[in-house]
Amino acid sequence: MLLATKRFLLLFVALVSAGFVYGQPYLLKFKSVNELQQFMQWSPNRMPLVSCHRGGPAPGYPENAIETFAHSVQYHPSIIECDASLTKDSALVMMHDDRLERTTNGAGYVRDKTAAELKSVLLKDNEGTVTSYHIPTLDEVLQWGKNKVLFTLDVKRGVPYRMIVDAVRRNKAEAYSIVITYSANQAAEVHQLAPDLMISASVRSVADLERLNKMGVPNNRIVAFIGTSAADKSVYDDLHSKGIWCILGTMGNLDNSAKANGDKLYSRLIKEGADILSTDRAIACGNELLQLAKAKD
């Protein structure tokens, strides 16, 4: 594997020591889906990662834009969480909301627009400033992401999982794509469609994992999303004993707490058992995890 976990940790430390925390892309590269699967088998030496919620928006950088993804990798190795929606003409585009008003200078429902119509729309950042960036298609995003990031692909309402799997296949993106699911039934559907793909599945208890296993989803294809509050140690320990990484969503209360009381909270959450932090404060969280890596050297 191109970036083994130990080497990945040393890379973090070397870059921090050399002063390249900013202005230098941090890239995740996997030659094959097998390498990704091996990387995602948990070990105590794993390198905690930041998941940039909706791509890591910042002033001047809107949600779900390729330019925003590229901005995020300047600060830390990134899992890019992004949202796939369906247009009137059955194209997959990157958009979180059902409607266009909050995140673009357009109006109306995404499902009522063609992909061509959406190409004329400009994206807004989270402060409401219109940028020069356009809504990308899922194909464009997957083509950009090779040898740069891992994607967790959030599938919005009405989007068939088969279309997501087809897009991953079409773009040969199996080695850097994880499909998000919200129920055991959805996870089983994705696994039946694509047994080689990694799946983000909701696992908040041992019983949730057992349900996934009974439906045919094996542990070595699961990345466990444990919710937006830290799990009990017993849950972390059980998942880790089975080789499963845990994603903790810090967007919302935990991010607000870190902002108010200090970013050391992110390191504490990792030490308590989380492996990936899905955050709306990707730069701050990433900086804290870089410092955590440096302290381990």
d(CA 61, CA 67): 7
For residue 34, give every residue at least 6 positions away whose Cβ sits within 8 Å of its Cβ, in sequence order, or none.
none
Distances from the Cα of 35 to the Cα of 38, 244, 246, 263, angstroms: 5, 15, 19, 32
pLDDT in tens, 254-295: 999 999 999 999 999 999 999 999 999 999 999 999 888 777
Let me know: does 168 contact 146? Beta carbons within 8 Å. Answer: no
pLDDT in tens, 85-105: 999 999 999 999 999 999 999
Global confidence as pTM? 0.91
What domains lie within the chain, and their CATH numbers?
5-96+133-296 (3.20.20.190)
81 DSSP β-pair partners: 152
DSSP codes of every residue in 202-271: E-SSHHHHHHHHHTT--GGGEEEE--SSPPPHHHHHHHHHTTB-EEEE-TTHHHHHHHHH-THHHHHHHH
Residue with tokens 């302290």: 295
Residue with tokens 């130990």: 6
d(CA 154, CA 130): 24
pLDDT in tens, 242-265: 999 999 999 999 999 999 999 999
Which H or E run contains 138?
A: helix 138-145
